[in-house]
């Protein structure tokens, strides 16, 4: 038994009974969306998962524990985000030892989900290879985690704050399957297409579950990406978004923003520059991913 792991009783019972559970990250709350929209989102996304017949498990680091499932007060704390750090793999032991509050990224949420026995995780967008990474070497730890940790991540692809082509090359090198949910196009978060393709298109959530089972039953470690495009009605114009993203990236370079601060800086700037319009799309695509992940978890639990 991992002494740092603290799983809510409802989630532990579901896991013990082989019932579907869907993990959710907390960096999207603490560092990806403003308060109080993040709190409203955090509650609603859990409710959607329940409506699909699965149990939600929002993950965070609090009071020296790896928390799987948050109560109302803890969720509020993550959304207010006062003194809450952004915790990727390297930060975990420090936050545990110091009992500091930490929001988990995709990498850390996968890591903790795997420890708890959760196989499916819904997010908005994953981290990846940043533009200019050939000189900065800025590659999100999310990609290494996908290579090693056995959790399927449902995401709306990646934002074009990243170099999408290099991100896909890196995932290929790391042996991570990139599967499109009812699409051949790898989506670009706010937009349904990025100009790049997925490795394989899936026709259903059941098919995703069968791929997961095949991978893990034969002893292969590592995750996979289920790329789920934003619903048409919430998609944004790609020329418009690329212009906004270019500007945000330019400002980050001019202001010398580096390291783990880059992604939160760009996300906040994009919300400002679009006058909040991108936030509405972000919320809707994350809801859509939560529904998809729940259906995959339900299908997986029946195999």
Known catalytic residues are 25, 159
Q: Return the number of the residue (263 or 301) whose C-beta is nearest ligand PSU.
A: 263
What is the rounded distance in angstroms from the CA atom of residue 39 to the CA atom of residue 27? 12
Residues 109-138 binding Mn ion (CB under 5 A) are: 138
Per residue in 29-56, is it b (16+ CB within 10 Å) or e — as a string?
Answer: bbbbbeeebbbebbbebbebbeebebbb
Q: Is 25 in the site for ligand PSU (CB under 6 A)?
A: yes
Residue in 12, 30, 58, 105 binding ligand PSU, rule: CB under 6 A: 105
Candidates 63, 108, 112, 69; CA nearest to 83 is: 63
Min dist CB 274 to ligand PSU, Å, is 14
Structure tokens at 289: 């991913």
Residues 198-227 binding Mn ion (CB under 5 A) are: none
Phi and psi (nearest 5°) for 228? -120, 110
Residue in 28, 70, 118, 226 binding ligand PSU, rule: CB under 6 A: 28
Q: Is 145 in the site for Mn ion (CB under 5 A)?
A: no
Q: Return the number of the residue (25 or 52) whose C-beta is nearest ligand PSU.
A: 25
- Scanning 118-126, 190-198, 223-231, 287-295 for contacts with ligand PSU by CB under 6 A, the matching segment is 118-126
Min dist CB 206 to ligand PSU, Å, is 27
Q: Is 125 in the site for ligand PSU (CB under 6 A)?
A: yes
Structure tokens at 295: 């259906």
Sequence-distant (≥ 6) Cβ neighbours of residue 231 within 8 angstroms? 284, 285, 288
What number of other Cβ atoms are within 10 A of residue 211's Cβ? 18
Residues 34-93 binding ligand PSU (CB under 6 A) are: 88
What is the rounded distance in angstroms from the CA atom of residue 83 to the CA atom of residue 63? 13
205 is in the binding site of which of ligand PSU, Mn ion, none (Cβ under 5 to 8 A by kind)? none
- Interface with ligand PSU by CB under 6 A: which residues? 25, 27-28, 32, 88, 105-106, 124-127, 140-142, 159, 189, 260, 263, 267
């Amino acid at each position: 038994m991992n002494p740092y792991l603290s799983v809510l009783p409802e989630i532990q019972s579901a896991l013990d009974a082989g019932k579907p559970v869907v993990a959710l990250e907390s960096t999207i709350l603490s560092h990806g969306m403003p308060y109080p929209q993040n709190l409203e989102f955090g509650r609603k996304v859990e409710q959607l998962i329940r409506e699909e017949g699965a149990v939600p498990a929002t993950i965070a680091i609090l009071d020296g524990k790896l928390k799987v499932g948050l109560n109302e007060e803890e969720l509020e704390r993550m959304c207010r985000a006062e003194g809450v750090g952004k915790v990727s793999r390297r930060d975990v032991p420090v936050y545990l030892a110091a009992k500091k509050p930490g929001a988990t990224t995709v990498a850390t949420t996968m890591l903790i989900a795997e420890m708890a026995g959760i196989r499916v995780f819904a997010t908005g967008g994953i981290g990846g290879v940043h533009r200019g990474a050939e000189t900065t070497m800025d590659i999100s730890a999310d990609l290494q985690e996908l290579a090693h940790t056995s959790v399927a991540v449902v995401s709306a692809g990646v934002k074009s704050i990243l170099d999408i082509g290099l991100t896909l090359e890196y995932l290929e090198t790391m042996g991570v399957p990139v599967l499109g949910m009812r699409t051949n196009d790898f989506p670009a978060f706010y937009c349904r297409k990025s100009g790049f393709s997925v490795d394989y298109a899936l026709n259903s959530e059941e098919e995703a579950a069968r791929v997961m089972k095949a991978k893990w039953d034969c002893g292969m470690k590592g995750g996979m990406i289920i790329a789920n495009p934003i619903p048409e009605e919430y998609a944004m114009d790609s020329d418009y978004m690329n212009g906004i993203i270019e500007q945000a990236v330019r400002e980050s370079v001019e202001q010398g923003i580096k390291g783990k601060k880059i992604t939160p800086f760009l996300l906040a700037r994009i919300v400002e520059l679009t006058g909040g319009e991108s936030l509405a799309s972000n919320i809707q695509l994350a809801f859509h991913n939560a529904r998809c992940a729940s259906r995959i978890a339900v299908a997986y639990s029946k195999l």
